[in-house]
Chain A
């Protein structure tokens, strides 16, 4: 077996690995990089190419601002044109429900000193005439953001580092990492045995497995990302685009192809670079709604794969023991951070001092974190969850819907009582984790329309998850003339999809708004309690939604709450 030694061994040839290697080499260290496939073959190759500071978790914004400042000089520094353009980043709002949360989010970002603002649809169209005005309500706009070619960028770092003496082991798969008695650590690959004082794990979706090898189980979950590109088209878009619901990005590359993708699907930890049919169809339909005349353009290629995410949408940058530094969990937005993270990590490795800027990314923030399966969520939703203040909202607010003081729940549960979903709006932070969980559970895809549960924002500080509360009056069944709704064994109303012709008579009949229409299915959908273990309650971080036994007292309160709501609707 071949033996090699170096000061630092980097596992993973993505943007983080290559940028760190480049900066370490600049400091004069002896660095060896191990990659089991090709440079940029992992999450970097699946990146959308967005170089943005906006639409990030608050703790990430300062780091992103520092990193983005490096980009204008990067092409010259690396000696390769990374096709960087600072043309701005839009986050498009398509649904009225998203307008207010987006404006709240913009205010949050502005408080961190970011140049980001709300633009109405006419202003958006003036800057990006390639969009369809019909489906856009407005957008957040950050002029300092832009996009670049991720593959050129990563190979630029790699080339430059290699020219300056980086040692590389391609096609080599790490089998084990061990600490040795002499203070060094040993890395075993299928071809080599390597020794170094410091090891960096920047192995993307493979990092979790490597962490487990040294006995640590971190809250990382691999999430599937998918990218697609069209044939080269004439220039129609110059900016980077995202959407408020975080499930689509798009940009036009320098050779003209529209590069788009996104879509989060829960996935097992196995690497499969094929795309899934449903997500491909959704993404293409989504971008066709937003960009003019894209339907006739040819789709050229699609690819996908995994990227690790953390519960709070921020990476983990921390030493796991004296030797091993972990840098992973960028949740699909690591490309823009890469150049600065590379600098800081190199500084950390060279000086053994954690740079001030990396303090928020230490793993101890997850201490006491329950090792349960969690639903990954975009930075947008995660941020609202941590930042939204909990206030009590009572009385009549918002768009004419009557709200009353939420029922007081007692914890007495008995086995023979029927368990139902109970909502406490006072606890709700509006994070919309329930929406994501519900969508993934039932549709296998993260969507923002046709949801069985939807969080309403009646006012700035009052959030209310709306779904079927399984009332005893069953107004929906009375309204249905096609026998498409029935009471199942558990005693709740379910939709018989074969009978439903989507006449939508049941939708206005429901006083809570618990029934919605899904155009892709051409039937209505409603909550079915997930067969006895509702995911919305399971994933609700604040227990605003709970799955519990409902006693008569509470039933009455809920019915009372509803009847008021019903009355207010009838009045209107």
Chain B
């Protein structure tokens, strides 16, 4: 922090659809852009590119993936081709672990160690995490997120298991099930938390959003044809198996998503994939001091933005999922808008019809919001997490510990920390924060918007001490340990 940081005009954090769109738009307008991403390849989770290793010439068609995924990869590759722009520097495998809002400095840690980057405008496009709900056995090997299983397929062409159970709520379940089927995996069942009645009552809301409706219908049809049971009003209640999953107990749930005793059934599966929607990754903007807003459609906190997607901290923009769950269309539109607004503030003239884009973006947001209302989050499901079930995995805090703290008067996530150490481990509450706020909501009758998320703390993800201090730790230095010593002499 004393050495002079590297300078750029615009820094974009996250190379998913939103980040790539923002970087490309700003660079085409003439601004110098640095695009940062934690993973080795651009594309984000949605346009995840396969890990071909050194052989980048291999075409997407050769990739052993089902057509739905190959199609996705091809689309992503087309988008990423735009990154080949002289004004864009893409810094992969680089974690942004801190932001100093006054100076607009980002602290980076990547292949070249610790670095600092000072940008005149900063665009957050960090995407979202999957939301999980705990139940007995959810920490066993064999339980994973739907997105995690998809990633394995997209990036490595690997199957997560032989016989899968998909559980949760939302349209991703069907979409992923189709991909898994095409990849040659067996899908035992899909469990949707919402009841059939509610779903059918809500379905007309999609009137007019033909593409969404069409997509859903096509997936449904495909699954029906394969004879996969799609169970409304069900949830997975327990992961069975000694050391790893070899089966799942499923249960019917009522309108509040509370499990109905006596409705237990057992399925033989080797993998349980979960998805209860998404939570925006907003740690970095919150460290920068950006105000949050509660996204009631997806029951999560997101960053508040104006129509230029600028946050209340001037010079900082939030796009895509960071500003509320929106999906890929919203991300692409908002990326363009933020890239245009940021470059315009720096005196460039982006060649983009912003008014038309804004209109399109609002429509897209509305459509996604409709989807959100169809798959509401219900805290009754926390009943599945009996007192002995761990909810904070890093610090090994059980649901019972959390409930006891609530009984003693805790009403906020931050207040849980001194009692239970929950949220103080490696994940910093990214996984457990959402779960515990639901437990608080269920136990106290509060609504989720009253329960603030854990305070975002620097570093937002664990980072080596030497990256923070800038002083490399060589340990007890000996010549034998010195890499390349032998080669140098011969």
Contact = CB atoms under 8 A, between A and B. Distances in A.
B415 A301 contact: no
Nearest to B103: A277
Contacts of A287: 465
A277 B455 contact: no
Contacts of A255: 395
A273 to B, nearest CB: 6
The 6 lowest CB-CB distance pairs between A and B, nearest first, are A295-B473, A38-B415, A298-B462, A295-B466, A285-B469, A151-B418
B199 interface: no
A116 B462 CA distance: 38
A301 B470 CA distance: 17
A293 B100 CA distance: 28
B418 A284 contact: no
Given A277-B1, A277-B107, A520-B2, A296 B464 contact: yes
A302 B426 contact: no
Contacts of B30: none
Interface string B423-451: 01110100000000000000000000000
A298 B428 CA distance: 13
A230 B465 contact: yes
B429 to A, nearest CB: 10
27 contacts: A37-B414, A38-B415, A45-B417, A45-B418, A151-B417, A231-B462, A277-B98, A277-B100, A277-B105, A281-B468, A284-B468, A288-B465, A292-B475, A294-B473, A295-B475, A296-B466, A296-B473, A296-B475, A297-B465, A298-B426, A299-B462, A299-B463, A300-B428, A300-B459, A301-B459, A303-B455, A521-B2
Contacts of A293: 473, 475
A41 interface: yes
A373 interface: no
B414 A275 contact: no
A551 to B, nearest CB: 41
B68 to A, nearest CB: 37
Contact of B458 (A37, A152, A278, A280): A280
A322 B48 CA distance: 70
A224 to B, nearest CB: 15
Interface stretch (A154-162, A334-342, A416-424, A469-477): A154-162
A170 B409 contact: yes
Contact of A171 (B2, B411, B471, B473): B411
Nearest to B116: A277
A301 B408 contact: no
A441 B31 CA distance: 38
Contacts of A275: 458
A39 interface: yes
Which of the four size classes fits the interface of chain B? 35 or more
Interface in A25-75: 37-41, 45
B221 interface: no
Nearest to B396: A255
A392 B395 CA distance: 59
A303 B418 contact: no
Given A154-B418, A231-B462, 9 more contacts: A38-B410, A39-B418, A255-B395, A281-B468, A285-B471, A288-B473, A294-B473, A298-B463, A300-B426
A168 interface: yes
Interface in A156-195: 159, 162, 168, 170-171
Given A38-B412, A302-B457, A155 B428 contact: no
Interface of B: 1-2, 98, 100, 105, 107, 287, 395, 408-412, 414-415, 417-419, 421, 424-426, 428, 455, 457-459, 462-466, 468-473, 475-476
A287 B468 CA distance: 12
Interface of B is mostly: loop
A365 interface: no
A29 to B, nearest CB: 20
Interface of A: 37-41, 45, 151-152, 154-155, 159, 162, 168, 170-171, 230-231, 255, 273-275, 277-278, 280-281, 284-285, 287-288, 292-303, 520-521
A498 to B, nearest CB: 12
Contact of A295 (B395, B462, B471): B471
Chain B CB within 10 Å, residue with most, of A273, A278, A295, A302:
A295
Contacts of B395: 255
Contacts of A298: 426, 462-465
Contacts of B425: 300
Nearest to A154: B418
A168 B458 contact: no
A155 B472 CA distance: 39
A301 B424 contact: yes
Nearest to B474: A295
A162 B408 CA distance: 8
A38 B418 contact: yes
A568 B457 CA distance: 54
Nearest to B429: A301
A429 to B, nearest CB: 33
Contacts, number: 117
Nearest to B101: A274
Contact of B414 (A41, A288, A296): A41
A337 to B, nearest CB: 19
Nearest to A276: B100
A297 B466 CA distance: 8
Contacts of A301: 424, 428, 457, 459
Contacts of A162: 408-409
A297 B414 contact: no
B471 to A, nearest CB: 5
A529 B302 CA distance: 49
Contacts of B107: 277
A295 B426 contact: no
B139 to A, nearest CB: 18
Contacts of A231: 426, 462
Contacts of A41: 414-415, 418
Nearest to B472: A295
Contact of B465 (A168, A273, A292, A294): A294
B285 to A, nearest CB: 13
Given A41-B418, A151-B418, A302 B473 contact: no
Contacts of B465: 230, 284, 287-288, 294-299
B462 A300 contact: yes
B287 to A, nearest CB: 7
A288 B466 CA distance: 8
Chain A CB within 10 Å, residue with most, of B105, B412, B428:
B412
Contacts of A154: 418
Given A159-B408, A295-B471, A170 B457 contact: no
Contacts of B409: 162, 168, 170
B296 to A, nearest CB: 23
Chain A CB within 10 Å, residue with most, of B107, B419, B469:
B469
Contacts of B475: 292-293, 295-296
A491 B288 CA distance: 43
Contact of B464 (A45, A274, A285, A295): A295
A206 B247 CA distance: 55
Nearest to B466: A295
B426 to A, nearest CB: 6
B415 A288 contact: no
Nearest to B455: A273
A506 to B, nearest CB: 21
A288 B470 CA distance: 11
Given A38-B412, A154-B418, A295 B469 contact: yes
B105 to A, nearest CB: 8
A40 B418 contact: yes
A499 B331 CA distance: 48
Contacts of B466: 288, 295-296
A299 B459 contact: yes
Contacts of A296: 464-466, 473, 475
Contacts of B426: 231, 298, 300
Given A285-B469, A285-B471, A294-B473, A299 B415 contact: no
